[in-house]
Structure 1
Amino acid sequence: MARYPRVLCPVCNDEVAGVPTRRTGMVSIHDHKREPRALVLCPGSMTHVPKTDALAWQDQLPEDLPDAMAAVEAPTLF
Structure 2
Amino acid sequence: MLVLSRKRDQQITIDEKVTITVLEVRGSQVRLGIEAPREMAVRRSGAVHSRRSKVQGSMAKSETRCPPAPTTAWTLEFEP
TM-score (norm 1): 0.27
Q: Which has the higher helix share?
A: 2
Taking structure 2 as the reference length, what is the TM-score of the superposition?
0.27
Structure (1/2) with the larger strand percentage: 2
Relative contact order: is structure 1 or structure 2 higher (C-alpha 8 Å, sep ≥ 6)?
2
